[in-house]
Amino acid sequence: MTCLDRRDVGLLLLRLGTGGVLAAHGAQKMFGTFGGAGLASTSQFMESVGFVPGRTNALLAGASELGGGLLLAMGLGTPGAGAAAAGAMTGAAAVHTPNGFFARNGGYEHAASLGLTAAGLAITGPGRLSLDHALGHVLNRGWMVPVALGVTAAATSVVVGMRNRHLRRQASVEQEALFDE
């Protein structure tokens, strides 16, 4: 057996930290744990920020964060797990973008950091301290990285695009209502 190098330990720490934070946020959305809102309230929130239907989008976001986070932490199916988490964080960043970059002002800093780290792990791989390594990388093949990131980018583009169209239609209706008064 070869010695572990510091890259393996570093990747483990990145996976545990990023995956743990993502999983906790997903659990907040899905189950209301850790002071979270739970699925019903998250569904209402998603609807209020333009992700329609709210329940479907809440389920997708929560499952991507919870599942992607847990899988990243374990280092299992790393390309798909990282891509799913990155996609969810792209949606979160879209909500926070109007507030600028910094989280202090409600910006997208936190979502961008988590999403970029998850995407980086999808590309880099989990290291030797992972279930992927223990299982012979059957769920972590080189071809899976561009496929997972490509499918996620396409799906995320559709979801965020639908949200943006919904928000534009909603703004147009509100503007027409102002002129009718």
Residue 37: CB partners within 8 Å, gap ≥ 6?
28, 29, 45
Q: Can you tell me the distance from the alpha carbon of 89 to that of 91, in angstroms, rounded to the nearest whole number?
A: 5
- Digit-coded pLDDT (tens) for 113-161: 999 999 999 999 999 999 999 999 999 999 999 999 999 999 999 999 9
Task: Give the pLDDT confidence of 36-95 residue by residue, as tens digits.
Answer: 999 999 999 999 999 999 999 999 999 999 999 999 999 999 999 999 999 999 999 999
CA 65, CA 83: separation in Å to the nearest integer?
10
DSSP 140-165: --TTHHHHHHHHHHHHHHHHHHHHHH
Judged against a pLDDT cut of 60, whether residue 1 lies above it is answered with no
DSSP code of residue 3: P
**Three-state secondary structure string covering 75-126:** CCCHHHHHHHHHHHHHHHHHHHHHHCCCHHHCCCHHHHHHHHHHHHHHHHCC
pTM score: 0.93
Distance of CA 82 to the CA centre of its chain: 8
